[in-house]
Chains A and B, each alone.
Chain A
Amino acid sequence: MQILITVAVISTITVLLAAILTIAERYILNYGTCVIDINDDKKLEVKGGGSLLSTLNEQGIFIPSACGGRGSCGLCKVAVLSGGGPLLPTEKPYLAAEELDKNIRLSCQVKVRENIKIQIPKALFAIKSYNVTVQKIEDLTHDIKTLYLKLADEQIMDFKAGQYIQIKTPRYAKVKEEVYRAYSIASTPSHKDEIQVIIRKVPQGICTTYVFDYLKQGDTITLNGPYGDFYLRDTQKEVICIAGGSGLAPIKSILHQMAEQGIHRKTTFFFGCVSKQDLYYQAEMQHFEKTLPDFQFVPALSAPKPEDNWQGETGLITEVADRYIKDGANTEAYLCGSPGMVDACVSVLETKGMPKESIFYDKF
Chain B
Amino acid sequence: MKQSPYLAKAQLEMQPGSISNIGFLGDDKRNLQDILNEDAKTVAHLGVTHAQVADVMEKVMHEGKKAFGNPVLYKDFLQVTVESSRGKMPCPFGHPGMYPKEVVCVTNQKTNESMCWTALSIHMIRQHGFYQGKGSSFRIEPEKVVRVLEIVIDK
A-side residues, CB < 8 A to B, are: 11, 14-15, 18, 66-67, 70-74, 90, 93-94, 171, 173-177, 181-183, 200-206, 208-209, 244-246, 272, 274, 302-303, 316-317, 337-341, 344, 364
Contact = CB atoms under 8 A, between A and B. Distances in A.
Contact of A340 (B2, B66, B96, B101): B66
B16 interface: yes
Interface string B92-108: 00111110111100000
B122 to A, nearest CB: 15
B37 interface: no
Interface in B57-85: 65-71, 82-85
Interface of B: 2, 5, 15-18, 20-23, 65-71, 82-88, 90-91, 94-98, 100-103, 137
B101 A364 contact: yes
A163 B15 CA distance: 33
Q: Please list the 3 inter-chain residue pairs (A to B) with the smallest Cβ-Cβ separation, ordered nearest first.
A: A338-B84, A175-B17, A72-B90
6 contacts: A67-B88, A73-B98, A74-B97, A174-B16, A205-B21, A364-B84
Nearest to A11: B2
B69 A364 contact: no
B108 to A, nearest CB: 21
Given A205-B85, A205-B101, A340-B82, 11 more contacts: A70-B94, A72-B96, A74-B97, A173-B21, A176-B17, A176-B18, A200-B86, A202-B86, A204-B22, A208-B85, A245-B84
A11 B1 CA distance: 14
A302 B21 contact: no
A274 B101 contact: no
A141 B86 CA distance: 16
B68 A72 contact: no
A202 B87 contact: yes
B90 A67 contact: yes
Given A204-B21, A204-B22, A66 B68 contact: no
A74 B96 contact: yes
A218 B95 CA distance: 40
B70 A274 contact: yes
